[in-house]
Amino acid sequence: MARERIYLFDTTLRDGAQTPGIDFSVEDKIAIASMLDGFGVDYVEGGYPGANPTDDALFERKRTQNAAFVAFGMTKRAGVSASNDPGVNALNRSKADAVCYVAKSWDYHVRVALGCSNDENLDNIGRSVEATIAAGKEAMVDCEHFFDGYKANPDYALSCAKAALAAGARWVVLCDTNGGTQPHEVRDIVGAVIEAGVPGGRLGIHAHNDTEQAVANSLAAVTAGARHLQGTLNGIGERCGNANLVTIIATLALKPAWAERFETGVTAEQLEGLTRLSRSFDELLNRSPAAQAPYVGSSAFATKAGIHASALVKDPATYEHVKPEKVGNVRHIMVSDQGGKSNFISELMRRGITVAKDDPRLDTLIAMVKEREATGYAYEGADASFELLARRTLGDVPDFFEVVSFRALVERRHNALGEIVTVAEAVVKVSVDGEERMSVAESANGPVNALDMALRKDLGKYQAEIADLELVDYKVRILNGGTEAVTRVLIESADASGHRWWTVGVSENIIDASFEALMDSITFKLMKNRGHAGLAAAE
């Protein structure tokens, strides 16, 4: 049976630009439009020409090759013709392929927000659509507040949709602007609109996520007959965001109930780039990807639980609703106090360490991880410290150096210019091959930085090897609180090979905790240099 086509409309650059904290430059918009254009979506809404210089500059050229490039704006105002309305002219003169008008469809809004008559609003919708078609562009209409409007006055809401349709709009898009409509209401209202004569093949949905139902509402609209879905990358958008197009794309493609009946423009090959698309977008926004994002999050196919891991290694289908590789994600079995032998064997294998299930050293390692996690360690976020603990338990880590003592102090004083400065000083004494070496360092960036500098100043024969070691991130978390508090420090390190690793330290004293994580980082680097740890060991 031939599958029906669902049309995907991306509004990341328009409704997404209304997200608090997000501010796109023209270059950002061009880059995102091009990411979307290569991904099989049908429409890319770029913004609102006439509203701001960024969007004016964007719409001086067409920015997509495959997807239709869409300009958004409001319908003409009452009392002026479409040809004399500057807003409508800016849209129709832009280099967009299509124009998406926002039109009021709730009579209360027509009265309060627009201050015109219901009939004038209908006329504004019709004339605006006609002007766009006359300009040689595809026209579509976002019926703002359609669901709330329909509940208040179904006849008027319907007449707005029909005015758009009669004037030739390719798509009439029902908007849940305030985001409070529930899936069963969407299904009923979309069904009623189709029943009233608006064909599903010209009907779309634009759902907001204020009750976390935007994806469910979009799919409910498809169930009822709508064939055009609007959404944004990673669900950004005004207030709580829009329907997450990433989730919608994967669900339509991978869930048999949808995939057997419908197809979108996204191919199976493009789908494998979904995780990359979602993460590249976050990268561009300079924010961390949401670990628990469906399909594409780093936790979407991760398990800590021992019972799950044990079944997963026998057959991944036991605990996965789809295969991670279908969306370009990866399975991740983690080690922690929630894990059993299967988690550990799987993670050790990934690191090139083979250990039998009945090896007593495996029991020792698991017991150590669980005991240490109970005192504050967190190994799922400290891959290198876990690997060192595992290799130490298996007797694989040499004593490269020994720290005989260290001291750190912080002083607030006047400098030579009479300014008040706070300076940290550290002294570290290490022993390499039985020979003691003492290093002193001073830092304006605090005692941990001073200790790190002193520790890495003179490691004797290992000094040259750690020259490219860099500390790139440092996280501190106080556990338990109160006077009993312990501090967990996580340090991310990197070297010239581009490899990054995390180490952990825990103590009642933040300096001790930091020092422990620093020492693990250096030891891991020395192991890695010898091909005895990290990726090199697994190859």
Ligand X SMILES: CC(=O)SCCNC(=O)CCNC(=O)[C@H](O)C(C)(C)COP(=O)(O)OP(=O)(O)OC[C@H]1O[C@@H](n2cnc3c(N)ncnc32)[C@H](O)[C@@H]1OP(=O)(O)O
Residues that bind ligand CC(=O)C(=O)O (CB under 6 A): 15, 102, 142, 144, 175, 177, 206, 208
The partner in contact with residue 380, picked from ligand X, ligand CC(=O)C(=O)O, none with C-beta cut-offs of 5 to 8 angstroms by kind, is none
The partner in contact with residue 164, picked from ligand X, ligand CC(=O)C(=O)O, none with C-beta cut-offs of 5 to 8 angstroms by kind, is none
Kindly state the smallest distance separating residue 25's Cβ from ligand X, in Å: 16
Query: Among residues 114 and 248, whose Cβ is nearest to ligand X?
Result: 114
Kindly state the smallest distance separating residue 204's Cβ from ligand CC(=O)C(=O)O, in Å: 11
Token pair listed for 227:
């064939």
Q: Which of 122, 28, 16 is nearest to 75 (CA)?
A: 122
CA 448-452-453 angle, 5° bins = 120
Binding site for ligand X (CB under 6 A): 15, 18, 48, 51-52, 74-75, 77, 102-104, 113-114, 124, 144, 177, 238
Please, which residues have CB within 8 angstroms of residue 530's CB and are 6 or more apart in sequence? none
Kindly state the smallest distance separating residue 102's Cβ from ligand CC(=O)C(=O)O, in Å: 5
Q: Which of 494, 487, 496, 537 is nearest to 516 (CA)?
A: 487
Task: Measure Cα distances from 351 to 394, 412, 499 in Å.
Answer: 13, 46, 14
What type of residue is 273? G
Query: Among residues 100 and 353, whose Cβ is nearest to ligand X?
Result: 100
Query: Among residues 16 and 297, whose Cβ is nearest to ligand CC(=O)C(=O)O?
Result: 16
Query: Among residues 239 and 314, whose Cβ is nearest to ligand X?
Result: 239
The torsion angles phi and psi of 208, rounded to 5 degrees, stand at -100, 160
Q: Please name every residue paired with 230 in a beta bridge, in sequence order, or none if there are none.
A: 9, 206
Q: Which of 110, 134, 145, 138 is nearest to 124 (CA)?
A: 110
Kindly state the smallest distance separating residue 202's Cβ from ligand CC(=O)C(=O)O, in Å: 17
The partner in contact with residue 51, picked from ligand X, ligand CC(=O)C(=O)O, none with C-beta cut-offs of 5 to 8 angstroms by kind, is ligand X
Query: Among residues 159 and 514, whose Cβ is nearest to ligand CC(=O)C(=O)O?
Result: 159
Query: Among residues 208 and 456, whose Cβ is nearest to ligand CC(=O)C(=O)O?
Result: 208
Query: Among residues 175 and 221, whose Cβ is nearest to ligand CC(=O)C(=O)O?
Result: 175
Q: Is the Cα torsion angle 307, 311, 316, 319 positive or negative in sign?
A: negative
Token pair listed for 485:
């508090």
The torsion angles phi and psi of 490, rounded to 5 degrees, stand at -115, 130
Task: Report the first-to-last Cα separation within the chain, whole angstroms.
Answer: 47
The partner in contact with residue 75, picked from ligand CC(=O)C(=O)O, ligand X, none with C-beta cut-offs of 5 to 8 angstroms by kind, is ligand X
